[in-house]
Chains A and B, each alone.
Chain A
Amino acid sequence: MSKLSLISRGILKENPTFVLVLGMCPTLATTTSAINGMEMGLATMFVLILSNIVISLLAPVVPDKVHIPVYIVVIATFVTLLQLVMQAYTPAVYQTLGLFIPLIVVNCIVLGRAEAFANKHGVLESALDGIGIGLGFTLSLTVIGMVRELLGSLSIFGWKIIPGDGILAFVLAPGAFIVLGYLMVLFNKLTKKN
């Protein structure tokens, strides 16, 4: 498989949100605005790339029986690293994303990629896979955030598009489920036809 298709695959064919349907918790919880969604996506991508690299290196040495605990420890380490760095340099972002930064540990995407891809492939390929899936996740979250922000507070990336108040429900919990549901319908419709 060519290097480029490794990246593009994560965005469309194996899009983690719309096709694999993994990592629903942060997808629903942090997409109250486009910026929040994007920040969450980037944070996950950071952990995904690093854990993919390290796990592809570790996989040949780790005995089969303990591989899951070892992967979890590696992922948890990178998540904590991210937590500390974010607390130090971007405390505002850390506060808005809150609980969902440490919860990257149990995001099925990260462990899923470690199990399904990184432990069978080389370092470069695993890194590229991490970038691809990470980009796909970030893009999906940004799009969901954009739709919710537009409907809920009539702005995009914090820019007020239309004056007024918007439909509050879209910023709240119900909007998350409904917007994701309809976007999934749209994604199915567009990709299945081709």
Chain B
Amino acid sequence: MVLCLGAVCLVCSALLAGVNALTEAPIKEAAEKALKESIGAVLPQGGELSEERGVSVGDQNYVYYECTLAEGSTCYAVKSTVQGFGGPLTLMVGVLSDLSINNTSVLSHSETPGLGAKCATDEGFMNQWKGFNGVLKVRKDGGDVDAITASTITSRAYTLAVEQAVAAVKAVQAQNEQTKEETNE
């Protein structure tokens, strides 16, 4: 009896270990492809993309990618995670060298379908981030961000994520300035 159960468990785990080994690479590839696509979507076309880098602001760590454009300016794609309404909300935020937003895209979310989930599908909400250059607060809180109807919490979280990304870029720029000065000396 125990032998039978044990044998079934063993065969099943062996099978899964095999499948896991087979699908591990495609899963990674798919995740990488999604990441590359989101970076492509939030940064201006062309330009040289750097490796993944890390920066910390306060006690938060951010992953970011630096991109040097043809005309010489640098822009950044920052991965920013905040607590949304239904769970973590992760965005990719493209920030230009003058700290204005180029574009944003949602990497993962668990917001309510039909309400908060619109942050990844509603054109009106998404398009306002293209070249956004205003106060990073929802209109209700006295800012320039148009919230999704009936989803103020998600909109606030989204805005906070963008704000954090800008703060992260500020920190990166300050860091880069410092290293430049040090090498000059």
Contacts and interface: CB of A to CB of B under 8 A. Distances in A.
B1 A88 contact: no
A183 interface: no
Contact of A74 (B8, B20, B23, B113): B8
Nearest to A32: B113
The main secondary structure of chain A at its interface with chain B is helix
7 contacts: A73-B9, A80-B16, A80-B19, A84-B19, A84-B27, A88-B23, A152-B114
A67 to B, nearest CB: 9
Contacts of A153: 114
Contacts of A87: 23, 27, 30
B4 A62 contact: yes
Nearest to A165: B149
Interface string B1-41: 11011001100100110011001001101110010000000
Given A66-B2, A81-B19, 12 more contacts: A61-B4, A62-B4, A73-B5, A73-B8, A74-B12, A84-B20, A84-B23, A87-B27, A89-B26, A168-B114, A168-B115, A171-B114
A65 B3 CA distance: 12
A95 B108 contact: yes
A103 B34 CA distance: 25
A43 to B, nearest CB: 16
Given A66-B1, A87-B30, A172 B112 contact: yes
Which bracket fits the contact residues of B? Answer: 20 to 34
Given A87-B30, A91-B34, A171 B113 contact: yes
Interface string A67-110: 00110011011001100110111010001001000000000000
Nearest to A89: B26
B127 interface: no
Contacts of B19: 80-81, 84-85
Contacts of B112: 172
Interface of A: 32, 58, 61-63, 65-66, 69-70, 73-74, 76-77, 80-81, 84-85, 87-89, 91, 95, 98, 152-153, 168, 171-172
* Of B1, B23, B31, most A-chain CB atoms within 10 Å: B23
Nearest to A92: B34
B110 interface: yes
A85 B114 CA distance: 27
B114 A70 contact: no
B114 A77 contact: no
Contact of B110 (A77, A88, A91, A98): A98
Nearest to A88: B26
B150 interface: yes
A170 B12 CA distance: 41
A144 B5 CA distance: 39
A188 B5 CA distance: 42
A172 B117 CA distance: 11
A32 B9 CA distance: 36
A73 B13 CA distance: 9
B177 to A, nearest CB: 39
A70 B26 CA distance: 30
B4 A66 contact: yes
A15 B6 CA distance: 35
Nearest to B114: A171
